[in-house]
Amino acid sequence: MSSKSVLHIAPENTAGVPYNVMNMQNINGMPSRLITFYKIPYDFPEDLCLKLSIPRSKVAMRWREYKQSKLQNKIETESMDKWTHLPYFAAKNPAEQAYMKYRENKNKGKFLKILDEVGADSFDIIHFDGGIDFFADSHLAKAFKMKGKKIVNCYFGDDLRTRGIVREMDEMSDLNLTFEYDHTLRHPNINFLFFPFDNSAIPYIDDEQYQKNMDSGGKKVFRIIHSPTHRLVKGTPEILQAIEIVRSKADIEFIIVENKPHEEVLKIKQTCNIAIDQIGNRGGTGYGINSLETLSMGLPTITDMNCGMDTWLPENPFIVADKDNLADKILELINDEKLLLSKRAKSRKWVEKYHSYDSVFKILKEYYIKSSII
């Protein structure tokens, strides 16, 4: 493998994915480091984190939700296709622009220091994870470009749905990558990757333990888990409505896990029988790390999918549901042992086939070669 090195620069370690990409590259002989600006409120590992302050209060979260809803209203008002619309990033008003400049000036000394300490100029490839520079005018990316570095923009989550694309960063990029299926409908020149996921430390729940998980004093009770990071985004209200219908027809125990350390969440998942990821398509096109964990454990996993992803996804291992049929899908799974066992049997194998480090790195290497990056 080429010895070219990679420096990742990211606002935050979104769902642990940037760190996993870095780790995958290191394991495959491509020296990599990751600088993040903000530490997310979960215990995902970090490499070099500035731990800059960022508003995460209820007021701040409501402001972000307001901006997202405003965009959605604009899309509806102007009759845009919500799956292909690609907004461009810009400060929404002079106050926001002033705040961005203040935050940049306040923290740039700390950022420049860590760039110097890590030897940023020695790296061959610069991944801007999120497709955004630390500086509003993208002058760091411009400087790297002038020095002959290859620029890769890699997009996560709502980067291209609500925040939008940074025009200058897009023009400089040698390669655009995304882990989100709907981004391929929005951006005319972007390449899809399954996000790399190492499930070697996640034990599969064997048949004996799986049966024990539903044993409640000699009575068979299915334990169903839902672990939302944000109830509205994950469709928890709709899920709760469906659960009440299921409760009236079957013996279940419904567990909501929120605001707990990652390791604790994993332990709770190991005691369950079925997982529900999301309903309503407000948090992406279908699934994320949460589902990869439950699938790796052998838990049949229910989720909602949009923009045709359920038919596109190869060898789809999920039980696909929406708010109207979620209760029926849960009951079908509970009452059809053959279906339950078939989902268990294929789930972990699917994760390893499509999301393993080896599988993802092979595709990433092909993209690098095609774009003359290596």
Q: Is 282 exposed, middle or buried (0-12, 13-18, 19+ CB in 10 A)?
A: middle
Per-residue confidence (pLDDT) for residue 323, from 0 to 100: 93
Q: Please give the C-alpha separations between residue 247 and each of 214, 242, 332, in angstroms, as whole numbers.
A: 15, 9, 13
Per-residue confidence (pLDDT) for residue 63, from 0 to 100: 59
- Determine the Cα–Cα distance for residues 138 and 52; give it in Å rounded to an integer: 19
Q: What share of the chain is helix, strand, coil (3-state, %, to 5)?
A: 45, 15, 40
DSSP annotation of 248 reads: T
Residue span(s) of the chain under CATH 3.40.50.2000 come to 6-198+356-370, 207-354
* 3-class DSSP assignment, residue 111: helix
Per-residue confidence (pLDDT) for residue 1, from 0 to 100: 44
Per-residue confidence (pLDDT) for residue 274, from 0 to 100: 97
Alpha helices, DSSP H, located in 272-325: 289-297, 309-312
Per-residue confidence (pLDDT) for residue 59, from 0 to 100: 57
- Determine the Cα–Cα distance for residues 209 and 238; give it in Å rounded to an integer: 30
Cβ distance 25 to 299 under 8 Å?
Answer: no
Q: Please give the C-alpha separations between residue 130 and each of 155, 156, 165, 235, 292, in angstroms, as whole numbers.
A: 5, 6, 9, 25, 21
Compute mean pLDDT per 10 residues along the chain, 374 residues long, and list them. Answer: 85 91 96 94 86 68 62 66 81 78 90 96 96 94 96 90 90 95 91 94 94 89 93 90 96 94 92 94 76 96 88 91 96 94 94 96 97 95
Fold (topology level) of 6-198+356-370: Rossmann fold (3.40.50)
Q: What is the pTM of this model?
A: 0.86
Q: What is the DSSP string of 62-90?
A: HHHHHHHHHHHHHHHHTT--TTT---B--
How many CA within 13 A on the CB side of residue 261?
5
- Determine the Cα–Cα distance for residues 291 and 297; give it in Å rounded to an integer: 10
Cβ distance 224 to 253 under 8 Å?
Answer: yes
Per-residue confidence (pLDDT) for residue 67, from 0 to 100: 62
Per-residue confidence (pLDDT) for residue 55, from 0 to 100: 60
Fold (topology level) of 207-354: Rossmann fold (3.40.50)
